[in-house]
Amino acid sequence: MKITKIIEHKNTWSYIISHNLLNQYKKAKQLILDWNLKSVDFRKRRPYKSEKYYFKINKALP
């Protein structure tokens, strides 16, 4: 599996900006695209057969 793009929900940007998470989000997104998944909390969403993933950006990233 190779991640080539990250699709955001339509309300994602307004939430990220309103909670001052823009820098953390950009850094987490770049880490995922660079395949550095241990630095972000990258997990599969339920139901597992849907092949959807999520990551948390509220942790301090390197």
Note the pLDDT of residue 46: 92
Helix (H) or strand (E) holding 42: strand 41-44
Residue 47 is predicted with a pLDDT of 92
Cβ of 55: how many Cβ atoms within 10 Å?
17
Q: What is the pLDDT along the chain (62 residues), one digit of tens a residue?
A: 678 888 888 898 899 999 898 898 899 989 888 888 888 888 888 998 888 888 887 656 56
Please give the angle made by the CA atoms of 2, 8 and 11, to the nearest 5 degrees. Answer: 170
